Chain A
Amino acid sequence: MAEDVRIKLVIWDLDNTLWEGTLSEGGGARLRPGAREAVLELDRRGIVQSVASKNDPDAAAARIRDFGLEDYFLCPRISWGPKSAGVGAILSALNIKPEAAAFVDDSEFERDEVLHALPRVHAYDGASLAELTALPEFQVPFITRDAANRRGMYRADLARQSAESAFEGSADEFLATLGMELDISPVTREDIRRVEELTVRTHQLNSTGYTYDYDELTAMIDDPGYLFLICGLRDKYGDSGKVGLLLMERGDALRIKLLIVSCRVMSRGIGSALLAHATRIAAREGKPLLAEFFETEHNRIMYITYKLAGFEEVEENGSALLLRYASDTPLPMPDYLKVNESQTN
Chain B
Amino acid sequence: MDTRERIYQFFVDKKKADGLTYDTELLKSRFINSLFALQIVMFVEKEFGVKLGRREISTENFHSINAIAELVESHLGGNG
A contact residues vs B (CB 8 Å cutoff): 169-173, 267-269, 271-272, 275, 295, 301, 303-305, 307-310, 312-313, 334
Q: Are A305 and B34 in contact (CB under 8 A)?
A: yes
User: Is B8's CB within 8 Å of the partner chain A?
Assistant: no
Minimum CB–CB distance from B52 to chain A (whole Å) comes to 9
Point out the residues of chain B lying under 8 angstroms from A271, CB to CB: 34
Q: Are B57 and A170 in contact (CB under 8 A)?
A: no
User: Is B75's CB within 8 Å of the partner chain A?
Assistant: no
Q: Are A307 and B59 in contact (CB under 8 A)?
A: yes
Bound complex: CA of A219 vs CA of B27, how far in Å? 39
Given the known inter-chain contacts A170-B14, A170-B15, A170-B16, please indicate yes or no for A307 contacting B57, CB distance below 8 A.
yes
Point out the residues of chain A lying under 8 angstroms from B55, CB to CB: 313
Taking CB as reference atom, which chain A residue is nearest B54? A303
Minimum CB–CB distance from A292 to chain B (whole Å) comes to 15
A304 is contacted by which of B15, B27, B37 (Cβ under 8 Å)? B37
Point out the residues of chain A lying under 8 angstroms from B57, CB to CB: 303-304, 307-308
Q: Are A171 and B59 in contact (CB under 8 A)?
A: no
Bound complex: CA of A309 vs CA of B32, how far in Å? 10
Bound complex: CA of A313 vs CA of B54, how far in Å? 10
User: Is B36's CB within 8 Å of the partner chain A?
Assistant: yes
Given the known inter-chain contacts A170-B15, A171-B14, A310-B59, please indicate yes or no for A304 contacting B33, CB distance below 8 A.
no
Bound complex: CA of A334 vs CA of B37, how far in Å? 13
In this complex, the member of B34, B55, B62 whose beta carbon has the largest number of chain A beta carbons within 10 angstroms is B34
Given the known inter-chain contacts A170-B16, A307-B58, A308-B59, please indicate yes or no for A334 contacting B38, CB distance below 8 A.
no
Point out the residues of chain B lying under 8 angstroms from A169, CB to CB: 15
Q: Are B16 and A269 in contact (CB under 8 A)?
A: no
Bound complex: CA of A267 vs CA of B36, how far in Å? 9
Interface size class of B (residues with CB under 8 A): 10 to 19
Point out the residues of chain B lying under 8 angstroms from A312, CB to CB: 58
Point out the residues of chain B lying under 8 angstroms from A313, CB to CB: 55
Q: Are A305 and B38 in contact (CB under 8 A)?
A: yes
Bound complex: CA of A171 vs CA of B31, how far in Å? 11
Bound complex: CA of A134 vs CA of B32, how far in Å? 49
Could you jot down 23 A-B contacts, CB within 8 Å? A169-B15, A171-B35, A171-B36, A172-B30, A172-B35, A172-B36, A173-B15, A267-B35, A268-B35, A269-B34, A275-B34, A303-B57, A304-B38, A305-B37, A305-B38, A308-B27, A308-B32, A308-B41, A308-B57, A308-B58, A308-B59, A308-B62, A312-B58
Point out the residues of chain B lying under 8 angstroms from A304, CB to CB: 34, 37-38, 41, 57
Q: Are A309 and B34 in contact (CB under 8 A)?
A: yes
Bound complex: CA of A171 vs CA of B16, how far in Å? 9
Bound complex: CA of A104 vs CA of B57, how far in Å? 45
Q: Are A272 and B14 in contact (CB under 8 A)?
A: no
Point out the residues of chain B lying under 8 angstroms from A269, CB to CB: 33-35
Q: Are A301 and B38 in contact (CB under 8 A)?
A: yes
Taking CB as reference atom, which chain B residue is nearest A169? B15
Within 8 A of A (CB), among B13-47: 14-16, 27, 30, 32-38, 41
Q: Are A272 and B36 in contact (CB under 8 A)?
A: no
Minimum CB–CB distance from B45 to chain A (whole Å) comes to 11
Contacts A272-B35, A305-B34, A312-B58 supplied; 11 other A-B pairs, CB < 8 Å: A170-B16, A172-B33, A272-B33, A272-B34, A301-B38, A303-B54, A304-B37, A305-B37, A305-B38, A307-B59, A308-B58
Bound complex: CA of A65 vs CA of B38, how far in Å? 43
Taking CB as reference atom, which chain B residue is nearest A321? B54
Bound complex: CA of A310 vs CA of B62, how far in Å? 11
Minimum CB–CB distance from A102 to chain B (whole Å) comes to 32
Point out the residues of chain B lying under 8 angstroms from A309, CB to CB: 34, 37
Bound complex: CA of A204 vs CA of B10, how far in Å? 24
Minimum CB–CB distance from A205 to chain B (whole Å) comes to 11
